[in-house]
Amino acid sequence: MKKLLLVIVAALAMVAIVAIVNTARFVSKQPPGEPAVQIAVDAEAAAQHLAGAVRFQTVSFEEAAKVDHAAFEALHGYLEQAYPAVHATLTREVVNRSSLLYTWRGRESTLDPMVLMGHLDVVPVVPGTEAQWSHPPFAGDIADGYVWGRGAVDDKSSVIAVLEAVEKLAGEGYQPRRTIYLAFGHDEEVGGPAGAAKIADALATRGVTHFAFVTDEGGAVGQGLVPGIEKPTALIGIAEKGYLNLRLTVAGEGGHSSTPPAETNVGILSRAVARLEATPFPARLDGAARDMFDYLGPEMSYGPKLAFANLWLLRPLVERQMLANPQSAALLRTTTAPTMLSAGVKANVLAPEATAVVNFRIKPGETMETVTGFARQVIGDERVKIERFGDGKDPSPVSDTSAPAFRMMAKTIRQVLSGDIVITPMLVVGGTDAKYYSQRSPNVFRFLPAVITQEDFRRFHGTNERLAVDSLATSVKYFYQLVKNVDGM
C-alpha cells in the first residue's frame, strides 16, 4: 500500500511538473508593436452621416415582398450627397435594385482586387417595444457620446466608416495599387441571397472570381467579454458558422377540443421541439475556437492560462465551464434554437396542422446534411415532417492566421488602436455576407473596431442599439489605414 501511495504521489507530481512546464511554454502569439499613425478624422461629421443613414427604415423581412425598396433608394441618394469625392472617383452600380457596388480602379490591373463589405439593411424593431427605446429607433439621435438607433452598429456603421475612409483617401488624390470593391448588400439580415450573392455573381460574370483580401463585419473590440483578460481584445473573425432552418410540421384531423385524441398535433410537435432542445449537439473545442484560445490563453491570468495550456488534461473542465455561458457555448457546438411556432385558430378547435421552425448555427466540421440527419434521429417520429425552410449555408472555410493578410490586419489594429490591446482570431457564431466570398479568397476576415461591452452585446438586434462616436471615428481611421496597408501586400 505504501509503494502504491508513493507511485500515485510520484505520478501526480509528474503531472504537475508537466502542467507547469506547458504553462511556461505557452507563450504569447501577439504580433509585434507598431508605431501609431496619426489620422485626422472629423468625428462629428461621421456621426452626423451615420445618424442620417439610421433614419432610413431599410428593414429586412423574411418575406421579400415586404421589402421597402423606396427606402433603400432614398438611402442611396443620401449617400451620394454625403460622399461627393467617392461618387466622383469610384464607379457606382445598383445591383438587384437595392444593393450597391462601388469600383475603385487600381494602378496595377494584374493584382487581385480586395473587397470592403457592409450591409444597408437592418432587423425590424419588435412591435410594442418602441417605448422602451431611450431614443426612437429610427430618429438617428446623437446623445451622450453615442449615435442611437436601429443599424447604428449592425451594420450601417461599417458602411459609413468605409465610405468616410474612402472619401478622405479620394479627396487626397489617393489611388490604390489594386482595384477595391465596396460591396453593400441589402438583405444580409435574411441571409443575403438577393444582395451580397447577386453582387458576387455580377463580379463573377466579369471574370472577377479571385480576391486578395475580403473584410466584413463580424468581430469587434471586446471590453470585459473574455474572463481573465482585462485589456481590450480585438476579435478577428477567421470563419463563420453555417446556418439552417428546419420546418417541422404535424398534420392530421382537427375537431372539437371537447373530445381530443390521446395525442394532438400540437402535442406531437411540442415533444419533437422539446427533444431537440434536450439533445444538444456534441461540444468540442477545436478549429477556429481552439485558435482563439491559443492566442488568448497566454494573455490570461495564471489559472485560466494553465488550463488552456494543458487541454490534454483539463479539456473536460474547460469545456464544462464554457458550456455554462451561452456566448462561449456557441463556440463549441452547433446550436439549436426553436424560433417560430404556429398552430390553431381558436381556443376550442383542435389544430389540423402545427408547425415550428428551428434555427441551427452550424459549427465548422458539420454540414446542413449532417444537421438534418441529426434532427431526424433525435425527433424519431415519422409523423413529424422535416423540411428545409428558406436558404441555408454550410460553415465557411477557416482563414489562415499565419498568412500575410492576417498579419496585415493585426498591424493595422496596432497602428490605429492602442498598442495595449490583445489580438486574436475567433469563430463568428452568427452569419455575414462574407460567406459569398469564402470560396473566392483565402483571406476572408470579419472585423470592425467598435468597442463592445457586455451591455452593448445585449443591444444587438435588441432595444437601444447604439454606437459610440469615438468608436465610429476609430473605425474610419482603421479602414483608411487598412487600404494603405493592403497596398503593401
Determine the Cα–Cα distance for residues 415 and 421; give it in Å rounded to an integer.
Answer: 11
- pLDDT-derived band at 441 (thresholds 50, 70, 90) equals very high
Q: Are strands 99-104 and 91-95 parallel, antiparallel or unpaired?
A: antiparallel
Averaged pLDDT for residues 311-323? 94
Lowest mean pLDDT among 79-88, 138-147, 354-363, 418-427: 418-427
Which of these is catalytic: 121, 167, 291, 465? 121
Catalytic position from the list 187, 188, 240, 319: 188
Q: Is residue 63 scored above 80 in pLDDT?
A: no
Give me the residues paired with residue 216 across strands: 446
Determine the Cα–Cα distance for residues 338 and 341; give it in Å rounded to an integer.
8
Q: Kindly tell me if the per-residue pLDDT of 4 is higher than 90.
A: no
CB-based contacts of 249-253 (< 8 A; 24+ apart in sequence): 249/353, 249/354, 249/355, 249/384, 249/385, 249/387, 250/353, 250/354, 250/355, 250/383, 250/384, 250/385, 251/352, 251/353, 251/354, 251/385, 252/352, 252/353, 252/383, 253/350, 253/352
Give the pLDDT of residue 65. 67
In whole angstroms, what is the distance from residue 197 CA to residue 436 CA? 6
470 is catalytic: no
pLDDT confidence of residue 16: 82
In whole angstroms, give the CA distance from residue 485 to residue 464: 35
pLDDT at 458 over 90: no
On the question of pLDDT at 382 being above 70, the answer is yes
Q: On the CB side of 289, how many CA atoms lie within 13 Å of its CA?
A: 20
Residue 71 in this model has a pLDDT that exceeds 90: yes
Q: Which domains does the chain have, with CATH numbers?
A: 43-238+395-486 (3.40.630.10), 242-388 (3.30.70.360)
**Res 359: pLDDT:** 97
Active site residue 294: no
Tell which residue, 306, 402, 345, has the closest CA to residue 22: 306
Output 8 or 358, whichever has higher pLDDT. Answer: 358
Q: What is the mean pLDDT of the chain?
A: 94
pLDDT of 1: 67
Q: If you search the block for the grid coordinates 426612437, which residue do you land on?
A: 136
pLDDT in tens, 166-175: 999 999 999 9
- Give the position of cell 482570431: 425
Grid look-up 508513493 returns 6
Per-residue pLDDT, 19: 85
pLDDT of res. 7: 64
Alpha carbon distance 463, 209 (integer Å): 39
User: Which amino acid is present at 150?
Assistant: R
Q: What residues have CB less than 8 Å from 365, skipping those under 6 apart?
A: 286, 287, 395
Query: 156 or 126: which carries more pLDDT confidence?
Result: 156
Residue bearing the bigger pLDDT, 247 or 7 = 247
Share of the chain above pLDDT 90, in %: 84
CA distance 245 to 182: 30
Residue 10 has pLDDT above 80, yes or no: no
What are the Cα distances from residue 245, in Å, to 12, 73, 101?
A: 48, 30, 29
pLDDT of residue 295: 96
Question: Mind listing the pLDDT tens digit for each residue in 232-283?
Answer: 999 999 999 999 999 999 998 888 899 999 999 999 999 999 999 999 999 9
Residue 357 has pLDDT above 90, yes or no: yes
> For the whole model, what pTM was predicted?
0.92
Contact 483, 166 (CB under 8 A): yes
pLDDT in tens, 43-59: 999 999 999 999 999 99
pLDDT at residue 331 is higher than 80? yes
